[in-house]
Amino acid sequence: MQIADDTVVTLTYKLYSAAGELIEETREPITYLHGGHHGIFPRIEDALTEKRTGDTCSVALEPEDAFGEYDAELVRVEAQDRFPADVQVGMQYEDTSGEDDEEVRVFTVTDIADGRVVVDGNHPLAGQRLRFDCTVLDVRAATPDELEHGHVHGPGAHH
């Protein structure tokens, strides 16, 4: 079966930096609902359309195709007393105070010095060119429930 809208795709992938350094790879296969259901980046979805089980593909991703451009306005310097006493670089905090109350942005602590904490709301890969290499392991038709809910239901999943 070919990958098309409303099919369920299972694949493995490796994500590389523009310099060819491995950033991430799947330990277990991932499964998503193909066809604009927001399960995978649209540019990757386009490249996978019409592929079959066993096919591979490699997709170059510009920042706008993946995690967006780096936004310096998402870097904030806050007073350290606004954070828990055990605040450390690498900790993450959710912020819902943006224009859209439903949008939750994750901020990562990037520096602590002189009573100040620097937090960054950009995705760690924002602004980076990436390469996504994948192998298609399985393609099947989505079930009516999966189409209605807009995501894949795995073994034992309930609603």
**CATH number for the domain harbouring residue 131:** 3.10.50.40
Verify that 138 and 113 share a domain, yes or no. Answer: no
Is the pTM higher than 0.75? The answer reads yes
Residues of the chain above pLDDT 70, percent = 93
In this prediction, residue 157 has a pLDDT band, given cuts at 50, 70 and 90, of very low
Question: What total number of domains does the chain contain?
Answer: 2
Give which of 44, 48, 45, 49 is closest to 61, Cα–Cα: 44
Decide if pLDDT at 32 tops 80.
yes
Per residue in 96-135, is it b (16+ CB within 10 Å) or e — as a string?
eeeeeeeeeeebbbeeeeeeebbbbbbbebbebebbbebb
Q: Are 53 and 3 in contact (CB under 8 A)?
A: no
**Domain interval for residue 107:** 72-120
- Residue 42 gets which letter from DSSP? H
Mean pLDDT of all residues in 100-106: 75
In this prediction, residue 103 has a pLDDT band, given cuts at 50, 70 and 90, of confident
Verify that 89 and 131 share a domain, yes or no. Answer: no
